[in-house]
Each structure stands twice: as C-alpha cells, then as structure tokens.
Amino acid sequence: MTVISTGPVGTGSGTCHDPDRRPLRRDAERNRQKVMAAAQALFAERGLEVSLDDIARRAGVGVGTVYRRFPSREALIEELFEDSLRELIADAQAAARAPDGWTGFAGFLSRACERFAADRGLREVSLSTAHGSDRCALGRQGLKPAVEVLVARAAAQGRLRDDVVALDVPVLLGMVLHVAGFARDEDPQLWRRYLQLLLDGLRAQRRRPTPLPREALDEDAVERVMSCGRSCG
Amino acid sequence: MTVISTGPVGTGSGTCHDPDRRPLRRDAERNRQKVMAAAQALFAERGLEVSLDDIARRAGVGVGTVYRRFPSREALIEELFEDSLRELIADAQAAARAPDGWTGFAGFLSRACERFAADRGLREVSLSTAHGSDRCALGRQGLKPAVEVLVARAAAQGRLRDDVVALDVPVLLGMVLHVAGFARDEDPQLWRRYLQLLLDGLRAQRRRPTPLPREALDEDAVERVMSCGRSCG
DNA sequence: GAATACCGGAGGACATGCCTCCGGTTCGGT
DNA sequence: ACCGAACCGGAGGCATGTCCTCCGGTATTC
C-alpha cells in the first residue's frame, strides 16, 4: 500500500461515456444508464460477484447489451465506484481537519461504516484489492494518508491509546462491517452498538463506558440471523 | 434458541460405526477413518462447503466410498463435530465456575476464539444454524446457559459493563473470528490483538488500556491480505 | 476358495457463469 | 417517409464444478 496520490482521482463525470468518442445513440445511452443503475443496486446488496446475467435481467436488458457496453466486470466496477471512493476520501480528509482529534477519528470510523454498511460493493472495493483496478487502487491509496493523520492527531491528543496504528483501521472496519453484513436483515444499524464497544476499547483512558446505541439482537433475531449462514467467515 | 439441554450431548464414542449393527469389514472401517480425517482437515481449513469429491481425493479414496459410508454431508458433519462442540460447552461451564467472574468471561472468549480460529468448520457449526442438525443444534443450545452465567457473574462483580448481554457474545465472537479468518496466513494469532481491544471496551471501568498482544499487520501484510479477497463479507 | 462386502472412479444429471452471434428492431439523418 | 447504420435481445456454446449412481473388479472373511 504505497502512497501514490492524495488528491482527487479521475474525472468525476460519471454520466458521459467517453469525452472524445461520438455520443451513444439515445437508446444506447438509456440502456447504459439502466445497466449502471442495476449494477449499482446489485453490487450494493449482494457484492461484486453478482453475475452479469443477473445485472442484465435486473436492468431489463439483454446480456449482450451489458457486454457490449462494458468490456469487463472491472470496467463496470471502476465506472461505478470512482465517485463513492472519492467521497470516502473526502470524509477522511474532512475528519482530519476536525477541531478535535478524537472526534475526528471516531467520526470517520462511524461515517465510513455508514457508507460501507449501505453498500457491500463499496466495502469490497475499498477493503480488498481483488476487485477494481487502476482507479480503484488509487482511491484506496488516497485514503491512507488521511487515516494516518486521524490516528496521529487523536493519539497526540492523548485520547486514542498509543499502541493503535493506522493499519489497525481497516481491520477494525472489517470487524464492525462483519456485524453490519450479517445483521442487516434484523437491524441494519446494529453495527453501531459494536462500534461503540470498540471505540471504548480504543480510548486511552475512561472511567465509565459510553452508553451503547441500539439494543442487542433478541433470541429470535439471533436465531434468524444464524440460520441464513451469513454469520461466519 | 430455546434451552433444551444443558448436560453433555450424544455418546462421544466417535470411533464406532453403529453400536447395534455388525461391525464394518476391516478395509471398510479403515477407509471410514480416512474419510473422517480428511473431512476434519478440510472442514477446518476451508469450511463446511468443501465438496465431497475433494474429501474423497484428500482421503485417497473413491467418491463412492464416501457416499456409501455417509448418506449426506450432514451426517459427516454431525459425526465430526459432536465432540468439539461438547468440549466447547465444557470450556464454558468450567469458565462459569472460575473463581473470578471477569477472568472466567474473558478467558472463555479467548478460549472459544482459539478453538474457532483453528477450525473454520467448528466455527460454522457453532455460529450458524445452516449446517449440521439435531445433535449440533443441541450442542449450540447447551452453550447458551453457560454463557449466560458467565455474563451474569462478570456483570454482578461490576467488572463487565452492565449493558452487555449474553446474546452479544456470538456477535463479539463473530467479529474477532472475522479477523482470525482473513489474517490467518499472515499472523494466525492476530485476532488476539483485536479481542483485547474489545475486552477493554467491555470493561465496566478502567483507567489505562491493557497492553495489546501481537503487532498490527504491516503494510505489506495488509496488502497481501487484502488481495486474497477474504477481507470483506 | 467361494461367497460377499467393498472399492474406485467414469460418467450422467444438473446448476451456474461467461461470452458470442445474428435475426430483428430502433434510431437519426436526409 | 425512408434507409442504412447502430443497436437490441437472448438462445446457445463453452467451461467449470458439484452431486450422486452404477458396475466391473478386488479384498476380506469364513
């Protein structure tokens, strides 16, 4: 994970096809949008592995149309996640400028989890190198320096325990999002409870625990969650 | 998750085929053992979804032999995990009798993670209802009362924060094991670091953080872990 | 050494995903 | 209104992977 760029990445248009090629025919462009919307939705809820056939079906379009427009799944992914990734980086940078170091740090974790919890695809693009390529890789790397600042400031302030490092952050996010992933049908916000627990553990010192947001799942909910096989990895 | 049984489950023989049926021929029994050993190993490292063909290959035996001996994957799973599940329950019960409530609670979490980290199959059997059946279900249910005692004692002692409940435990385990799962190639013990963080968050009060075991992954390790696609769910 | 319990693995049935191809349709300029 | 180019849909070929059965041949037991 070498730092290559810290600034914004790519163009951010998100709508046009290719600046210097002649525009698509109207129906083609329409279908292209439908495909992107469908992919966006499916990636968000089922992850990046969904089949292109599924995307086509959801878009109400033939498979051919998908393949014609996007040479590969990667192309589709890059097209879709560039903006989200940039927003995430912006979050981190904003948090790094927050007046209070700890608030910035904790706030970013929370914000990042919100984004990730709502979009499994984004989670996979950000937390794994296995998907997306060039532009996504740049995005991932742009995140790093901002997170380092967050950790450094919170630690310097004496509020974050000093044995935590920036590279713990992706792991911590992974833990919280694991909860977000498997409990999303029962309580899509449940992860907040466990994030708070972690944050209390990350504090340099504290007397009393911060009250936990959300209730724990009840027996039936746990039972239901356990029965759909998402609870382990 | 209704409590049905708290005592030991099943017979625990683990070796014989079926008490009242005439014993298998020598070669048959030998092969049966080979299959169980192979399944044990593969379940542990790749989870319960491995194909029976793979198990047969690993056992150095034909597929037919596997199917002949075990009517279904479930049968194989039950046969294999009954003992492990019982051991886990014994851990919990022992911890519930520990002189110190907090030590018992924290010790059980740690012990359970050790077992789970070493055996992905056990993790899936214990933390999901989707696999195994009768006997495994009983095992899962046997765990519950012991965990309730653990939580109650640690809380009564004033060391565990009082807004944590027994049903948080499977979720907490899931979080820690998520780390164990994706970091196993880089540092099979990494989960201890994050378990400690969580435990510090679970304490009712504390001034200073408990020192963290293990180092965080370094950049290259994170990079490698991220590239094998196990980092999200 | 015969009867029988057992073995191996080829192979059929099925599912899933990728991607191509081409007859038919729609668009857009004239 | 019309025609050629651009585009569409989805059937279908290919590859992969899993489950499970079947039966000619082999090992074991008495």
Q: How many CB atoms lie within 10 A of CB A199?
A: 21
Contact (CB<8Å) B177/A123: no
Q: Is the pLDDT of residue A5 over 50?
A: no
Q: CA-to-CA distance for B103 and A5, rounded, in angstroms?
A: 47
Of B184, B204, B223, nearest in space to B46 by CA? B184
Q: What is the pLDDT of residue A135?
A: 73
Q: What is the mean pLDDT of residues A119-133?
A: 84
Tokens matching residue B150? 């653990």
Q: State, as a whole number of angstroms, the distance between the CA of B220 and the C1' of C18.
A: 33
B52 touches strand C (CB under 7 A): no
Q: What is the CA radius of gyration of chain B?
A: 20
Q: Which residues of A touch B129 (CB under 8 A)?
A: 223, 226-227
Residue A139 vs residues A65, A108, A142, B110: alpha-carbon distances, Å: 28, 16, 5, 36
Q: Give the H or E element holding residue B146.
A: helix B134-156
Per the document, the length of chain A is 233
* CB contact set of B76 (below 8 Å; sequence gap of 6+): B35, B36, B39, B55, B70
- Do B42 and B54 contact (CB within 8 A), yes or no? yes
Q: Is the pLDDT of residue A21 over 80?
A: no
The strand D neighbours among A residues 63-82, by Cβ under 7 Å, are 63-65, 68-69
Q: What is the pLDDT of residue A47?
A: 93
Q: What is the pLDDT of residues B174-196, one digit of tens each?
A: 999 999 998 999 999 999 999 99
Question: Residue B130's pLDDT band (boundaries 50, 70, 90)?
Answer: confident
Backbone dihedral angles phi then psi of residue B155, each to the nearest 5 degrees = -70, -45
Q: What is the pLDDT of residues B93-121, one digit of tens each?
A: 999 999 999 999 999 999 999 999 999 99
Alpha carbons within 13 angstroms on the beta-carbon side of residue B218 total 1
How does the average pLDDT of chain A come out, rounded?
88
- Secondary structure (3-state) at B203: strand
Q: What is the pLDDT of residues A202-220, one digit of tens each?
A: 999 999 999 999 999 999 9
3-class SS string, A162-221: CCCCCCHHHHHHHHHHHHHHHHCCCCCCCHHHHHHHHHHHHECCECCCCCCCCCCCCHHH
Q: What is the pLDDT of residue A20?
A: 52
Any idea which residue has 């694991």 for tokens?
Answer: A178
Q: CA-to-CA distance for A169 and A199, rounded, in angstroms?
A: 11
Q: What is the pLDDT of residue B137?
A: 78
Question: Residue B7's pLDDT band (boundaries 50, 70, 90)?
Answer: very low
Q: What is the mean pLDDT of residues B120-148?
A: 84
Q: How many CB atoms lie within 10 A of CB A75?
A: 13
Tell me which of A1-5, A14-18, B88-92 is least confident.
Answer: A1-5
Per the document, the length of chain B is 233
Q: What is the pLDDT of residue B134?
A: 73
Question: Residue A9's pLDDT band (boundaries 50, 70, 90)?
Answer: very low
Q: Is the pLDDT of residue A96 over 80?
A: yes
Shortest distance, CA B233 to any CA of chain A (angstroms): 6
Percent of chain B at pLDDT above 70? 88
Tokens matching residue B123? 């993790």
A-B contacts (CB, under 8 Å): 173
Q: Is the pLDDT of residue A233 over 70?
A: no
Q: What is the mean pLDDT of residues A100-119?
A: 97
- Do B132 and B125 contact (CB within 8 A), yes or no? yes
Q: Which amino acid is at B185?
A: D
Q: Which residues of B touch A217 (CB under 8 A)?
A: 167, 171
Shortest distance, CA A167 to any CA of chain B (angstroms): 7
Q: What is the pLDDT of residue B20?
A: 52
B54 touches strand D (CB under 7 A): yes
Cα-based angle A38, A39, A43 (whole degrees, multiple of 5): 120
Q: Which residues of A touch B217 (CB under 8 A)?
A: 167, 171
Q: What is the pLDDT of residue B11?
A: 35
Q: Is the pLDDT of residue A125 over 80?
A: yes
Q: What is the pLDDT of residue A95?
A: 97
Question: Residue A17's pLDDT band (boundaries 50, 70, 90)?
Answer: very low
B161 touches strand C (CB under 7 A): no
Q: What is the pLDDT of residues A53-77, one digit of tens each?
A: 999 999 999 999 999 999 888 889 9
Burial class from Cβ neighbours inside 10 Å (0-12, 13-18, 19+) for residue A22 reads exposed
Question: Residue B9's pLDDT band (boundaries 50, 70, 90)?
Answer: very low
Q: Which residues of B touch A206 (CB under 8 A)?
A: 205-206
Cα-based angle B191, B193, B198 (whole degrees, multiple of 5): 90
Any idea which residue has 């959300």 for tokens?
Answer: A214
β-bridge partners, A160? A203
Q: CA-to-CA distance for B36 and B66, rounded, in angstroms?
A: 9
Residue A143 vs residues A44, A83, A90, A100, A217: alpha-carbon distances, Å: 21, 13, 9, 20, 33
Q: How many CB atoms lie within 10 A of CB B22?
A: 7
Q: What is the pLDDT of residue B233?
A: 63
- Do A110 and A200 contact (CB within 8 A), yes or no? no
Q: What is the pLDDT of residues B216-227, one digit of tens each?
A: 999 999 988 888
Query: Which carries the bigger pLDDT value, residue A85 or residue A233?
Result: A85
User: Which of A197, A217, A224 should be substituted to probe chain B, the one whose Cβ sees the most B Cβ atoms within 10 Å?
Assistant: A197
Tokens matching residue B139? 């095992």
Q: What is the pLDDT of residues B48-69, one digit of tens each?
A: 999 999 999 999 999 999 999 9
Q: What is the mean pLDDT of residues A141-166?
A: 96
